[in-house]
Amino acid sequence: MEMRSEKDISGCSLAGFISESGERISGDVIISSIAVMHERGNGLGGGFAAYGIYPDYRDYYALHLICDDDKSREQAERFIENNFYIECKEPIPTRNVPSITDPPILMRYFIKPIVESGKEDDFVMHAAMKINAEIDGVYVISSGKNMGAFKAVGYPEDVGVFFRLEEYEGYTWIAHGRFPTNTPGWWGGAHPFTILDWAVVHNGEISSYGINKRYLEMFGYRCTLLTDTEVMAYLFDLLLRRHRLPVEIVAKALASPFWEDIERMPPGKRELMMAVRSVYGSALVNGPFAILLGYRDGLIGLNDRIKLRPLVAARKGDILYIASEEAAIREITNPADVWMPKAGEPVIGRLKGETQ
């Protein structure tokens, strides 16, 4: 008889796409894609992130919050009012879905820092972390401009219906169906994990969490959710936004080639990879993973350096698609080109035009 461990760490589903021309696409498309991979999850977490969905508030940071009760909401709101100008605040629209039970209070605030310092991104980042760490019963789901994250306990297709995502249009969408392994299934623990406009969905398990967390804490990040995906979102923020490294170098820092492979590289490339591994050794992500990173200007797909989790990419016209399974892509398009990204090699889609 075939025996299986009770712990199955090969699940989770990822799906995403970007229209590089900036065409905004309805949320029902990404729901159809992620629903194909229903069996990869167990209903304990589903979520989405979308870019270009708030054109009327494109210059404001959009804070999405989940709150346990009115007391925690009021406490968070006082903090926001003391530090930000609020252009608009409102409940995040939802509809009743039988499988989504006991939802928390869901709010969104379109804000700008009261004091303009030229470092507004850092101010918002630290404010979001302060809310997460110090205000009980409140969690910031997302905090970027012209984007938002939507997540819950449930299957992703049900979560999409719950949040009425068919009413939104975005040029980039990413989605996740969760199979939690080391952390419980709760609303804040569903993917994506975000900071500012970086949003990560992740399939895998990272064994380097401890050293990655300590490395990030040196730069002022507060890892409050005890999950490897949160760490990956912060690593991207640190290396891409604060250190201003090219995407290709960041990929090599997180999924570095083995030393034996570096030694066989041509001299110039070898010296570069040795420098990346030496300087950013604590950012190396160990363990099996496949991720999608959404951000203001693009979409990135990345595997670990020996590709222990599935990831497939495709193109049709100006749209790049990335998913755990090819079927999820073919559900929503008939692609002109399909390929399996190489281990440790990023697949990058870049926004080339103004959003429409």
Q: Is the domain 13-347 a CATH 3.60.20.10 member?
A: yes
**Tell me, what's the pLDDT at 327?**
96
Residue burial 36-48, b: 16+ Cβ < 10 Å; e: rest: bbeebbebbbbbb
Residue with tokens 């975000």: 194
* pLDDT tens readout for residues 38-62: 888 787 788 999 999 999 999 999 9
Percent of the chain past pLDDT 70, that is, above it, reads 94
Helices and strands: H and E segment counts in the chain: 10, 18
Question: What average pLDDT does the structure give for the chain?
Answer: 91
Give yes or no for residue 6 having a pLDDT over 60. no
pLDDT confidence band for 270 (50 / 70 / 90): very high
**Tell me, what's the pLDDT at 115?**
82
Listed range (3-12, 118-127, 283-292) with the worst mean pLDDT: 3-12
The better pLDDT of the pair 205, 242 is held by 242
Q: Which residues are catalytic?
A: 12
Q: Give me the mean pLDDT over the 177-189 stretch.
A: 71
pLDDT confidence band for 78 (50 / 70 / 90): very high
**Tell me, what's the pLDDT at 2?**
32
Residue with tokens 């170098």: 249
**Tell me, what's the pLDDT at 114?**
92
Spans of all domains in the chain? 13-347
Backbone angles phi, psi at 212, to 5 degrees: -60, -40
**Tell me, what's the pLDDT at 303?**
94
Judging by beta carbons within 10 Å of its beta carbon (0-12, 13-18, 19+), is residue 334 exposed, middle or buried? exposed
* pLDDT tens readout for residues 274-305: 999 999 999 999 889 999 999 999 999 999 99
Residue with tokens 């997540």: 151
CA distance 303 to 86: 39
Q: Give me the mean pLDDT over the 54-72 stretch.
A: 96
**Tell me, what's the pLDDT at 1?**
28
* pLDDT tens readout for residues 243-262: 999 999 999 999 998 999 99
* pLDDT tens readout for residues 325-334: 999 999 999 9
CA distance 212 to 149: 24
